Amino acid sequence: MIKTISVAPMMDCTDKHEIYFLSLISKNVHLYTEMIVANAIIRGDKNKLLSFKKISNPVTLQIGGSNPEELAEACKISEDYGYKEINFNLGCPSKKVQKNKFGACLMQEPDLVAKCIESMSNSTKLPITIKTRIGYDDVEDFEFLKKFIQRTKDAGSKKFIVHARRAILKKLSPKENLNIPPLKYDFVYKLKECFNDDEIIINGGIKKIQDIKDHLAKVDGAMIGRAIYHSPYFLTDIEKEIFNNDNAPSRSEVMENLIPYIQEETSKGVQLNHIMRHTVGLFHGQNGSKTWKQYLSKNMCIRNVDLQKVNHIMDQVRLAPQAHSAD
């Protein structure tokens, strides 16, 4: 089975602009949209929500919901937009998501989850996958997780992405749920032993190349979230160390290659800050990174900024390569 490296779906982060930006850095990682609610797909502006510029990377749409009929309809609507698969969100712990009966709280209702996956699978030609946690609240038992995964598999899920923390739904904020519940990677490793013929992807707390290599020795893939969003050029290390690709672009080249996309999107009325906010961490750890972030904050990540600002910052990048070097 081919090992997979993917960027996690993150609310308010992995929109269509972030997906395109990351595709300029890595051609091999699997990219995921932020969660889009099934009801929004049915009743909202479908092209605005679902369309994205076609890239060579595989892209997965993540959907949230708990109504089997709505989820099925949303999947049917989405299948012709160019996604590789549709991922069902069973891992988000936010209170807003819980209120609407999405995400990790659905782990409490495996029968409903199974109905949702069955409806989704029967409505589309695209594979249905899940992203979940190892448990919820006081439920942190491997046998529970094993039975839950088996139930979703029987219902039609083709891949299983597991964040190796439980979701504490009642006491912690979404941010706290990313750090406070202890990581239990051994639960995910044991899942792979039990479901040896199925694709098991591990998620949670992965920050270094060695972390990825260690996980790939035991499961089928690794999904990285915040480490890439805050330092997107980390993807070039993944390209080199995991995919044996030494031809990654420099940071300056990434920005150069982003310009035509910016021109295309702003001509359609997209505000520049919606794109440029994703580039804040591009020079993370480099000389001049503070200047880059400050310039973006003051000039680019604000409403109604014009394209001349992009040309100006690119002039700064070109004139001072030592301050923004990829190396």
Q: Is 4 helix (H, G, I), strand (E, B) or coil?
A: strand
Is 73 within the bounds of a domain? yes
| Pairwise CA distance, residues 202 & 185, whole Å | 8
Asked if 229 and 99 sit in the same domain, the reply is yes
Contact 242, 26 (CB under 8 A): no
Mean pLDDT of the chain, nearest integer: 91
Q: What is the pLDDT of residues 122-148, one digit of tens each?
A: 999 999 999 999 999 999 999 999 999
**Beta bridge partner(s), residue 128:** 86
pLDDT of residue 58: 98
Contact 29, 54 (CB under 8 A): no
Is 325 within the bounds of a domain? no
Tally of structural domains, the chain: 2
Asked if 32 and 150 sit in the same domain, the reply is yes
Contact 234, 228 (CB under 8 A): yes
Is 327 within the bounds of a domain? no
Output 124 or 290, whichever has higher pLDDT: 124
Asked if 235 and 268 sit in the same domain, the reply is no
Asked if 162 and 303 sit in the same domain, the reply is no
Asked if 151 and 260 sit in the same domain, the reply is no
| Pairwise CA distance, residues 89 & 163, whole Å | 11
Q: How confident is the model at residue 95 (pLDDT cuts 50, 70, 90)?
A: confident
Asked if 314 and 233 sit in the same domain, the reply is no
Q: Is 17 helix (H, G, I), strand (E, B) or coil?
A: helix
| Pairwise CA distance, residues 10 & 62, whole Å | 10
Nearest to 232 by CA among 20, 16, 11: 20
Q: Alpha helix (H) ranges present in 127-243? A: 142-155, 174-177, 185-194, 209-216, 226-230, 234-241
* C-alpha neighbours within 13 Å on the C-beta side of residue 295: 18
Residue 35 CB neighbour total at 10 angstroms:
26
Say yes or no to pLDDT of 230 above 90: yes
Q: How confident is the model at residue 321 (pLDDT cuts 50, 70, 90)?
A: very low
User: Based on C-alpha coordinates, what's the Rg of the chain?
Assistant: 20
> Domain boundary residue among 220, 241, 262?
241
| Pairwise CA distance, residues 200 & 206, whole Å | 15
| Pairwise CA distance, residues 214 & 29, whole Å | 18
Angle between helices 16-23 and 251-267 (to 10 degrees): 140
Asked if 207 and 263 sit in the same domain, the reply is no
CATH number at residue 292: 1.20.120.1460
Say yes or no to pLDDT of 43 above 80: yes
164-200 b/e with 16+ CB inside 10 Å = b? Answer: bbbbbbeebebeebbeebebbbebbbbbbeebeebbb
Q: Is 284 helix (H, G, I), strand (E, B) or coil?
A: coil
| Pairwise CA distance, residues 177 & 242, whole Å | 29
Is 153 within the bounds of a domain? yes
Q: What is the pLDDT of residues 159-216, one digit of tens each?
A: 999 999 999 988 888 788 888 899 999 999 999 999 999 999 999 999 999 999 999 9
Distances (CA, A) of 240 to 108, 161, 209, 235, 272: 41, 24, 10, 9, 31
Say yes or no to pLDDT of 310 above 90: no
Is 67 within the bounds of a domain? yes
Q: Is 194 a catalytic residue?
A: no
| Pairwise CA distance, residues 286 & 283, whole Å | 6
Contact 134, 164 (CB under 8 A): yes
Asked if 159 and 273 sit in the same domain, the reply is no
CATH number at residue 122: 3.20.20.70
Nearest to 83 by CA among 7, 32, 12: 32
| Pairwise CA distance, residues 92 & 163, whole Å | 10
pLDDT of residue 319: 57
Asked if 267 and 203 sit in the same domain, the reply is no
- 49: containing domain: 4-241
Asked if 132 and 231 sit in the same domain, the reply is yes
| Pairwise CA distance, residues 246 & 240, whole Å | 5
Is 326 within the bounds of a domain? no
Nearest to 167 by CA among 62, 95, 253, 239: 95
**Catalytic, out of 13, 75, 92, 194:** 92
Q: How confident is the model at residue 326 (pLDDT cuts 50, 70, 90)?
A: very low
Q: How confident is the model at residue 304 (pLDDT cuts 50, 70, 90)?
A: low
